[in-house]
Structure 1
Amino acid sequence: MSGTIFAHLASGTTTVARCFALTRRDGVVLGFTDHDRDLSFEGITFRADTGLTARALQQATGLAVDNSEAYGGLSSDAISEGDILAGRYDGAEVRAWLVNWAAPSERVLQFRGSLGEVTRSGGAFTAELRGLAEFLNHPQGHVFHARCSAVLGDSRCRMNLSVPGYSEERMVEEVDADRVFRFSSMTSFDDRWFEKGRVLVLSGSASGLIGVVKNDRVSATGARTVELWQSLGVAIAPGDMIRLEAGCDRRAETCRLKFANFLNFRGFPHIPGEDWLMSYPVGSGVADGGSRVKGEAVGGFGSA
């Protein structure tokens, strides 16, 4: 296909347009084009009524990150401001083609990467496009510290949150500002059980969105209030179904007592602290590991 598009470009008279395919993390695929009519290929319809266009794509050999920007108008049936605010486009996969609109089989994939920062202003949006080399900038390796570095329920933690007692699916009874949920009676879990956990929306207009729990309190009457760190950005209505997942503060004690999962603990609870790093060897004192008074050496080391 690419050979024919290059021959078309070399002809001197061209009929080309750009097409973009956006794949969100929830699996939704959207197609856009800067042509004046819709185009279709690879099972995707690229719509022309979105006002989407893009600036020149900068590419180079080596490991430099390819970059560009796409911009267009906010539309309720294409890219809406609500979906952007809800984070549905964060990290979405982007593919961009140069296409002969007179013969869409003649095309070449020019860009593949992900969406970066998305800004909104005056009824329009601008999205940064980041190439595949951007992933090489992500930190690699593990951090050695006292608390666990795994995410609760991931492949390193191996905790099964579907086990009874660690998650709860409930119907929304009362919600304020799309981030504070109130339940008239919910005493089957201890106070603060869901703090640092997640709320997953299972139905309604906010279906698929995830929030992190800031506060979880049970009153003397048994009513429960669950507050998220920030609004989900899409309206949640009473009757929508949500899933509450237990929270983890990544401490060894929590892993052992709350989740009975200490065999998979990914932290180092016995790693020496900063006071040990500042100590130095001395030739006097009793090295028995006991307590000491100020200025007295312990274990053959003194404090700086």
Structure 2
Amino acid sequence: MSAYPQALTNHLEGEVTTVCHCWRLTRQDGVVSGFTDHDRALTVDGTLFEPESGFSATEARNTLGLAVDTVDVEGALSSNRIRDEDISAGLYDSAKVETFLVNWRKPEDFALLRVATIGRITRSDQRFVAELEGLTYSLDQPSGRYVVRACDAELGDGRCGFLLEQSGYVGAGVVLSCEGSDAIIVSGLDAFDPGWFLHGTLNWTAGVRAGRAERIIGHRKEARGVVLTLRHSPPAPVDEGDAFSIKAGCDKTFGTCKSKFSNAVNFRGFPHLPGNDAAYGYVVEGGQFDGGPIVP
């Protein structure tokens, strides 16, 4: 637990205390929101904390060593700054949550109790429960690179080095209609081969989902038009006429990197990695042991 400022310490040592909890939530896109379990709005550390959220927290604890500490925060979807469709869209994934202990009579007297990130979020009956993962949680996660055949770079990033914003690899279109909950029929992509945008990204430029991105898991052509299948069902409705931009996708294989993007020199996987049979095999008569690649 953080050291309390002297003014707050003196207040806590009194016979009567006037303290509450405040949560400052900072999303990955930089949007900051404040919530409190007090019955009126408070301004603490330059942030306005609203009381209408109905937040409550489970018991929090700090443990010695590197054990992972977690605490749940529960709230109603009543704040106009927390919407069900935003949670579904992943806007709150990995958001930073700062928990403050505040003297609500003197909001300038506060202490930062903990800093955590949002992990799993569950929703039911117009409520949500967010699991907050402490800073030590990252020490329990695998880090570094894995030796695998597939590329571990993101298409177009610094490690990939491919210039994605060029003719033939980007496009734009408009929604003609929706098919089910996760497929849309679009115009503007007739010049591209089926599957060209598979594993790519679609960024909405107009409509209720403007500014958000979707991962594409299906791209095919039919008589009625080009059909794109999105990884997740859009939490906000997609309407006819919604516009988008789109970028080509990569399946992370060496063959695609070489033939589709001519970027084999920057491939970040290990395409000649032998399989288990070769790795655990042994020398036999007639085998080829000239130092060449086991996998062509």
| TM norm structure 1 | 0.86
How far apart, CA to CA, are the structure 2 residues paired with 1:39 and 1:159? 48
Amino acid at match of 1:256: K
Q: Give the match for residue 259 of structure 1.
A: 261
Which deviates more, 116-125 or 244-253? 116-125
Superposed displacement of residue 197, structure 1: 1.4
Return the letter of the residue paired with 1:266.
R
Specify the code of the residue in structure 1 equivalent to 2:161. Answer: R
- 2:238 match: 236
Task: Tell me the residue number matched to 2:8.
Answer: 5
Q: Distance in 1 between matches of 2:124 and 2:259?
A: 49
Between Structure 1 and Structure 2, whose CA radius of gyration is higher? Answer: 1
Indicate the RMSD between aligned Cα atoms, in angstroms: 2.2
Which structure 1 segments of 5+ residues have no match? 290-298, 300-304
Contact in 1 for aligned 2:174/2:188 (Cα 8 Å): no
- Runs of 4 or more, structure 1, over 6 Å off, are none
Deviation at 1:174, TM superposition (A): 2.3
Q: Is the 8 A contact 2:173 2:187 kept in 1?
A: no
* Aligned-partner SS, 1:62: coil
Residues in 2 aligned to 1:208 and 1:93: alpha-carbon distance in whole angstroms:
21
1:1-304 maps to which residues of 2 (within 5 A)?
2-75=5-78, 77-177=80-180, 179-219=182-222, 223-282=225-284, 284-285=285-286, 287=288
CA spacing shift, 1:209–1:287, aligned 2, 3 Å: closer
Distance verdict in 2 for CA 1:286–1:179, change over 3 Å: closer
Q: CA deviation at 1:178?
A: 5.1
Task: Tell me, yes or no, if the aligned pair for 1:210 and 1:232 is still in contact at 8 Å.
Answer: no
Shift of 1:119: 1.6
Q: Secondary structure at the residue paired with 2:282? A: strand
Q: CA deviation at 1:26?
A: 2.2
User: Structure 2-normalised TM-score?
Assistant: 0.89
| CA distance in structure 1 between the aligned counterparts of 2:289 and 2:124, rounded to whole angstroms | 67
Name the stretch that deviates more: 13-22 or 39-48.
39-48
Deviation, structure 1 residue 286: 7.3
How many residues are matched?
A: 288
1:3 is matched by which residue type in structure 2? Q
Shift in Å at residue 177 of structure 1? 4.2
Change (3 A) 1:178 1:202: farther
How big is the shift at 1:13? 1.5
Q: Using a 3 Å threshold, how does the CA distance of structure 1 residues 44 and 169 change in structure 2: closer, same or farther?
A: farther
The one-letter amino acid of 2:264's match is: F
Q: Distance in 1 between matches of 2:286 and 2:54?
A: 78
